[in-house]
Amino acid sequence: MGQLGKVEYVDIRNVWPDEAADFTPWLATSEGLELLGDAIDLSIEFVEKEAKVGPFSADLLARVVGEEDHFIVVENQFGKTNHDHLGKLLTYASGLTAKTVIWIAESFTDEHRQALDWINETAGERVGFFGLEMYLIRIGESLPAAQFKVVSSPNLWAQAVRESKEEAELTQLNLEQKEFWEELKEYMTQKGTSLQLRKAHPQHWFEISIGRSDFHISLTVNSRLNRIGCELLMSGPKGKQAFGLLSEKKEDIEKEIGHSLNWQPLEGKDRSRIAIYKEDAPFLGQGREASKEWLYSMSERFNKVFSPRVKVLKFTAEADSEK
């Protein structure tokens, strides 16, 4: 029998000496938001750090990808939970009209965990409160790995009932879309993809992180046009700047991709898009396997070409301030 490593816990201050100056900025990165999203089973995108509520500031404001009005408030603290942060959490949740509220601490007292449970029972479906304990682990000489443990969450029974109701209200097309994305995830996993694949949802798109907030690869299916697509989506002010900067390298990018691309600045909208589409490509019935292979191949190619470029893009102070 081979040897096994021993899991060791690492003091979080060895990696993040200060909660506000170090931990919160890390949490706002695509890596932090992806880990946080995995813990609560939601796809999350960054909106703002130090979001103002009167004279106060919430550590982090985010939202669910694809749901413009589903805001997420995150409040962090090192050490044990305390009444001060619970009060702040309630203030930020109401002031920012959040649908999901996350309290992160090293440890939760029984009283504060029970308080979150009570809030979830009382609030019903209007808002969900999560309590997450954060810690770092490593095995042997490996780098520390961040972990979140859910100690309180919205009432699972109510959530299951709600999801069951929503499932019943979905159209047949929605269900087929979800089934296709689940099949694609399995297909890409078997192919050995290194891409981080999230939970499949009953919608016409499937988003994949490429390592920077506000930038995603979006795979799409369009049953009406009998078309599938692979897109680089860029959101917010930085996305508009990124589109301009990447456009300057259009010839090189298209050469590396191996195809001409559809460059869409989407004037008047808060996002831009660089896309490629495959016509006469059904995601249902005959041709399904070929569509999965094309989406897998193209998403790998987009990630290889765009991810390193996106990560090193430099933006003006104007775009930073607008975030």
Q: 18-67: per-residue pLDDT in tens?
A: 998 899 999 988 888 888 888 887 788 888 888 888 888 888 888 887 67
pLDDT band at 319 (very low <50, low <70, confident <90, very high): very low
Q: 188-246: per-residue pLDDT in tens?
A: 999 999 888 878 888 889 988 887 767 889 999 998 888 999 999 988 767 888 999 99
Q: What pLDDT, on the 0 to 100 scale, is given for residue 315?
A: 79
Distance CA 264, CA 162 (A): 37
Q: What pLDDT, on the 0 to 100 scale, is given for residue 228?
A: 94
pLDDT band at 320 (very low <50, low <70, confident <90, very high): very low
The mean per-residue pLDDT over the stretch 123-138 comes to 83
Q: 306-315: per-residue pLDDT in tens?
A: 999 998 988 7
Residue 169 clears pLDDT 80, i.e. is over it = no
Question: In the chain, which residues fall in CATH 3.30.1460?
Answer: 170-322
Q: What pLDDT, on the 0 to 100 scale, is given for residue 128?
A: 85
H or E segment to which residue 184 belongs: helix 172-190
Task: Please state, rounded to an integer, the average pLDDT across all residues of the chain.
Answer: 85
**Second CATH level (architecture) for the domain 7-163:** 3-Layer(aba) Sandwich (3.40)
The pTM of this model reads: 0.55
pLDDT > 70 in the chain, percent:
90
Residue 147 clears pLDDT 60, i.e. is over it = yes
Q: 90-113: per-residue pLDDT in tens?
A: 888 888 888 889 999 999 998 998
Burial class (CB in 10 A: 0-12, 13-18, 19+), 75: buried
Helix, strand and coil content of the chain, in percent to the nearest 5, comes to 40, 30, 30
68 vs 184, which has greater pLDDT?
Answer: 184
Q: What pLDDT, on the 0 to 100 scale, is given for residue 161?
A: 41
**Closest by CA position to 230, among listed 292, 178, 182:** 292
Highest-scoring range by mean pLDDT, 6-20, 191-205, 243-257, 267-281: 243-257
The β-bridge relationship of strands 271-278 and 205-209 is: unpaired
Residue 125 clears pLDDT 70, i.e. is over it = no
Distance CA 300, CA 280 (A): 21
**Closest by CA position to 129, among listed 104, 147, 107, 110:** 104
Question: In the chain, which residues fall in CATH 3.40.1350.10?
Answer: 7-163
**Closest by CA position to 124, among listed 103, 99, 102:** 99
Q: What pLDDT, on the 0 to 100 scale, is given for residue 117?
A: 85
Give the 3-state secondary structure of residue 281: coil
The mean per-residue pLDDT over the stretch 294-299 comes to 96
**Number of CB atoms found within 10 A of residue 63's CB:** 21
Domain boundaries 170-322, corresponding CATH code? 3.30.1460
Read off the DSSP letter of residue 1.
-
Distance CA 241, CA 19 (A): 30
**Closest by CA position to 98, among listed 55, 148, 48, 133:** 48
Q: What pLDDT, on the 0 to 100 scale, is given for residue 142?
A: 82
H or E segment to which residue 13 belongs: none
Q: What pLDDT, on the 0 to 100 scale, is given for residue 157?
A: 40
pLDDT > 90 in the chain, percent:
35
First to last CA, the chain: 53
**Number of CB atoms found within 10 A of residue 128's CB:** 23
